[in-house]
Amino acid sequence: MSGKTLIEAYEQTAYPLGGNGPRDVQVLKEAFDQVQGSLGSDMYGNGKVIEDFQNKMASVLGKESAVFFPSGTMAQQIALRIWCDEKGLKRVAYHPLCHLEIHEQDGLKELHHIEPILLATQDRLITLADVQQLDEEISCLLLELPQREIGGQLPAFEEVEAISAYCREKGIKLHLDGARLFEIIPYYGKSAAEICALFDSVYVSLYKGIGGIAGAILAGDKGFTEQSKVWKRRHGGDLISLYPYIISSDYYFEQRIGKMSQYYEGAKELAALYNACEGVLTKPEVPVSNMFHVYFELPEEKMASILTSVLEASGVGLTAWLRDAGDGISSFEISIGDRYPNVPKDKLQEAFRLLNEKMREQ
Amino acid sequence: MSGKTLIEAYEQTAYPLGGNGPRDVQVLKEAFDQVQGSLGSDMYGNGKVIEDFQNKMASVLGKESAVFFPSGTMAQQIALRIWCDEKGLKRVAYHPLCHLEIHEQDGLKELHHIEPILLATQDRLITLADVQQLDEEISCLLLELPQREIGGQLPAFEEVEAISAYCREKGIKLHLDGARLFEIIPYYGKSAAEICALFDSVYVSLYKGIGGIAGAILAGDKGFTEQSKVWKRRHGGDLISLYPYIISSDYYFEQRIGKMSQYYEGAKELAALYNACEGVLTKPEVPVSNMFHVYFELPEEKMASILTSVLEASGVGLTAWLRDAGDGISSFEISIGDRYPNVPKDKLQEAFRLLNEKMREQ
């Protein structure tokens, strides 16, 4: 035993499995290397740099209009606020593990005074029946595809179609948390626009699978996006210059939009390797995007020690961190990107042989 | 007459007078040229890149702690919200031409439900007497130094000291809108920290005189800044990576913090040239920072035509735009930066000789 922590061991591995690469300044430098210095900045939401990218994203998402936001947190609160104001009812529904519920310091409640109804439970997806059984009126339903906090699970496309049809019938706006929308295109076998057509408003992230620096797009019809610009100013998101994020988003969109099937296939392959180990399983068992969660039937401290030794012996970076999932179980999340194909298959096999061996010894 | 508009003529001048240079991608490229690609990103407000700069700014401003924000709009609403919550009273006071009142789509009211009392009038600064005569209790008074929308005017430092003492006595928090704080240091002959010592919380911009790409600092005691981080998350401003703005802010801070006296002297010289022309005056008459407003006793359309011809004949970019100030008067704002010393004095004299000649012909 070296006495290293898991993160220390991970940082020294030759073959990290997840992600596109380190989050460092090189990400920005690479994106700007091919850009002329004389290209003018956007100015408070106007200018060619921002307008061209917004138009491109509107087209990709099949929506009339799109607005670039510094963050999804800002974009999504604003989307829900607009739909609530339109109906005159400050109530929405979303999953209990929705980003707005657990990662935003209650911005939706504190800034917008919107009451969320939590649909479904922490361990499963929202179904049509959940929506039909709502006993209070709502302005908007938010669906997150894939549902990140439960491993990136997805409903059948037909279920989303049925929820969409029901919401339209009942006058409920349907908003897509598509932080990882591009990552589910291979599984659904639909275009981004075909998926977005089921929704009134759509948020996508530019730094998940796409691997930009930061930034988000909010798309919908023109009336909706024009209102969103007013709220963007109110939130303090209408920066004089957003081009550092826009140019890098566009650059990495072009680099990676065609690789989503490769990431998805990698995720399925890697999940199968975990599921073949004793005392290990993944959620979902077969990934439906580039991400999944890995669960170990051992508590965090014990498991971290095992993983550290596997990382040190194999040079393969399975994970940099681990969290306590309760009941003597530990887990982590992984998203497959550019790095995965660079890991030699024999190294990968060796890492999993070691992991399985150590799990069996317990 | 060439038929060009003022902005078209300006864009072809060899010697623009205001600002530091074009707002283009080169501003970012230059700042990142000397940065190692392996430097790690900040992550949601943590990491060396953001913490080092925040500590540096806290030290410059003489405050216990500082937080980097994507925008001043976000930072200032949050500062006022924290002070209102602390007192349990959602009422503040500021100038009628305060940024929060006229440039933020009423974010303070719409998101925070804070009621502002407008102190003083649109054409003069807030005085101690205005504060003493408030007939309603307030949680916080915001002072903008210099008051941008009236040409960047400043109260005497003793007046600010007296307002600060009065507010402390009455339990009113004093917040500094220091968007152009660094620019007033030469006139006051005080350090940033000496000015900030009169205030409970301070916002400074990194893209005015400093010339960064975007970004702001909010500083105060640790309890205040820790609360501001929670609100930053709520507003959607706690981006995974803010380093494109932080690194450029730090780079241009180092480049320009020592040039504020040069900008101030340039502004005084240029204002004197305007005031020597017939039918032209500046506010303030003698600038107290790097900025001032120029007023012409001619309506916008007529004056734009005169300026266009002066720009075309002299090659000196006096201004790119002009606004209607009512009553047959037109005006524009100018801020002096790196460009001013590059304008040959004979070209400058020629431009003003032409301007004065054309004003006399009217």
- Token output for A260: 């989503």
Tell whether A57 lies on the interface with B, counting CB pairs under 8 A: no
Spatial distance between the Cα atoms of B218 and A236, rounded to a whole number of angstroms: 14
B210 touches chain A (CB under 8 A): no
Q: Which residues of B touch A106 (CB under 8 A)?
A: 234
Binning chain B into helix, strand and coil, the percentages to the nearest 5 are 45, 20, 35
Shortest alpha-carbon distance between residue A35 and chain B (Å): 8
Answer whether B23's CB lies under 8 Å from A40's CB.
yes
Q: Given strand A323-326, what is the order of strands in its sheet? A: A280-283, A291-296, A329-335, A323-326
pLDDT at B3: 83
Chain B within 8 Å of A133 (Cβ-Cβ)? no
Work out the widest C-alpha separation in chain A, in whole angstroms.
62
Question: Hey, what are A111's tokens?
Answer: 């800034």
Asked if the Cβ–Cβ distance from B239 to A70 is below 8 Å, we say yes
Question: Which residues in chain A have their CB less than 8 angstroms from residue B30's CB?
Answer: 37
For β-strands B173-178 and B140-144, DSSP reports them as parallel
* DSSP per-residue letters across A255-301: HHGGGHHHHHHHHHHHHHHHHTSTTEEEESSS-SSSEEEEEESS-HH
Contacts of A236 in chain B (CB under 8 A): 69-75, 77, 104, 107, 235, 237
Contacts with A28 from chain B: Cβ below 8 Å:
32, 243-244
**Cβ contacts from A onto B, under 8 A:** 168
Residues of B in contact with A74 (CB under 8 A): 235-237
Gyration radius (Cα) of chain B, Å: 21
Report which residue type is found at A266.
G
User: Could you say which DSSP state residue A182 is in?
Assistant: G
Q: To 10 degrees, the CA torsion angle through A11, A13, A18, A23?
A: 40
Contact A70 B230 (CB under 8 A): no
Paired with A334 in beta bridges are A292
Taking residue B292's Cβ as centre, other Cβ atoms within 10 Å add up to: 25
Q: What's the pLDDT at A94?
A: 98
Tokens of A173: 């706006």
Q: Which two tokens stand for residue B163?
A: 């307002």
Shortest Cα–Cα distance, A77 to chain B (Å): 9
At A3 the pLDDT is 83
**B77: nearest CB among A26, A70, A236:** A236
Helix or strand (DSSP H, E) at B217: strand B216-220
Residues in A closer than 8 angstroms to B239, CB to CB, are: 70-71, 214
Query: Is any Cβ of chain A less than 8 angstroms from the Cβ of B299?
Result: no
Q: Are A302 and A1 in contact (CB under 8 A)?
A: no
Q: Which of residues 148-207 of A touch B (CB under 8 A)?
A: 207
The answer to whether B227 touches B220, Cβ cutoff 8 Å, is no
Cβ-defined contact of B214 to A239 (cutoff 8 Å): yes
Subunit contact B24:A40, Cβ cutoff 8 A = yes
pLDDT averaged over 10-residue windows placed end to end, chain B, 362 residues: 87 97 97 97 98 98 98 98 98 98 98 98 97 97 98 98 98 98 98 98 97 98 98 98 98 98 98 98 98 98 98 98 97 98 97 98 90
Residue A184: name the closest of A288, A84, A283 by CA: A288
Burial class of residue B158 (count of CB atoms within 10 Å of its CB; 0-12, 13-18, 19+):
exposed
Check residue A22 and report its DSSP letter.
-
Tell me whether A109 touches chain B (CB under 8 Å).
no
| Cα gap A310→A359, rounded to integer Å | 11
| Residue ranges of domains in chain A, CATH in brackets | 6-22+259-361 (3.90.1150.10), 42-240 (3.40.640.10)
Query: How far from each other are the two terminal CA atoms of chain B, in whole angstroms?
Result: 17
Q: A291 vs A285, A311, A358, B231, CA distance in Å?
A: 11, 20, 25, 30
Task: Write down the pLDDT at residue B5.
Answer: 96
Name residues 217-246 of chain A within 8 A of B (Cβ): 230-231, 233-245
Kindly report the backbone phi and psi dihedral angles of residue A361, in degrees, each rounded to the nearest multiple of 5, phi listed first. Answer: -70, -15
Buried b (16+ CB within 10 A) or exposed e, B123-151: eebbebebbeeeeeebbbbbbbbbbbbbb
Measured between CA atoms, how close is A158 to chain B, in angstroms? 33
- Nearest-CA distance from B291 to chain A in Å? 19
Q: With an 8 Å Cβ cutoff, are A111 and B111 in contact?
A: yes
Residues, chain A:
362
CA distance A203 to chain B (A): 14
Taking CA–CA distances from A208, the nearest residue in chain B reads: B240
Question: B221-280, pLDDT tens digit by residue?
Answer: 999 999 999 999 999 999 999 999 999 999 999 999 999 999 999 999 999 999 999 999
Does B72 reach chain A within 8 Å, measured CB to CB? yes
User: What ranges make up the beta strands (E) of B251-351?
Assistant: 280-283, 291-296, 316-317, 323-326, 329-335
**For chain A (length 362 residues), average pLDDT per consecutive 10?**
87 97 97 97 98 98 98 98 98 98 98 98 97 97 98 98 98 98 98 98 97 98 98 98 98 98 98 98 98 98 98 98 97 98 97 98 90
